[in-house]
Amino acid sequence: MRRIHGGGGVGFKWSFNLLKQKLIQSGRNPNHWNRTSFLQSPIPKYFSRYYSTESQLQLSPNLIKIMEQRLSAIEHRSACLENFMNQPEASPTEFSRANKELRKLRGSMELITYLRTKQKEIDGLRSLMTECPEDKDMLDMANEELSQAMEEEKRLQNLLLKSLLPRDDADERDCILEVRAGSGGEEASLFAMDIFKMYERFSQNNGWKFEVVYITESDLKGYKEASAAISGADVFGKLKFESGIHRVQRVPVTEKLGRVHTSAVSVAILPQADEVLNL
């Protein structure tokens, strides 16, 4: 996997300056290109890690049309929510509900914003190519930039298609982490402690709240059993696939002859239940 540089990359700035020089040399107004050019902004960090060098799925025109309708609806809904949250008469409950829905749309909105930027770039390059049909050097550079922009547009459309897929409602919930030592004796309990502390550090790095519920220690201060409550944004959705058996092969501190031991622990990620109100 590698990051793909956006409109603010060095390669594009170099081509952009050459195109402006060509316009000046040919007696054309470079400001026209500025009006039709795209916004030079880098790819947002939110989704730059999803970019890869692999070929993207070619979407059919009908699917793109349907997706564009859905994207327009998301843009409209996001604008309405932002406007509603700025109204002083909104109650705290309504404000909280609107803010929660807006957070759900934030990831898609970042993708949509960058897609619109790419589409403006494509329109500007096509306009430039139409105005300069006899300048071969300019056409070659503009065509190269156009190919890259269209490839990125395709990638963004694929990312947006994935983001529009239905999500599990439980993904937004907080979760309970349970770690239990399995086969391996004292070494398994030491491994369980490592696993538990790994999730604690991972939670801290993601800005989540990690609260220890209980810990049962072994003779070597390892963890026979340990449980914690983790709360934050989309915690369960990001951790639910961690459930299962985790195994390690290493020379434990309990081994005196240098032999490799195999130990295992079980990890359970459970969504926290909604609070039950007594009426």
Q: Is 224 helix (H, G, I), strand (E, B) or coil?
A: strand
Per-residue pLDDT of the chain (279 residues; tens, 9 = 90+): 333 333 444 344 444 555 556 555 555 555 544 433 433 444 444 444 344 444 566 778 888 888 888 888 989 998 998 888 888 888 888 888 888 888 878 888 888 889 899 989 888 888 888 887 777 888 888 888 888 888 888 888 888 888 787 777 788 889 999 999 998 888 899 999 999 999 999 999 999 999 999 999 988 889 999 999 999 888 998 999 999 999 999 888 877 888 888 899 999 999 987 665 444
Question: Do 263 and 247 meet the contact criterion of CB atoms below 8 Å apart?
Answer: yes
Indicate the DSSP class of residue 124.
H
Q: Is 227 helix (H, G, I), strand (E, B) or coil?
A: strand
Q: Is 179 helix (H, G, I), strand (E, B) or coil?
A: strand
Give the global pTM.
0.52
- Domains, in order of start, for the chain: 10-163 (no CATH), 169-271 (3.30.70.1660)
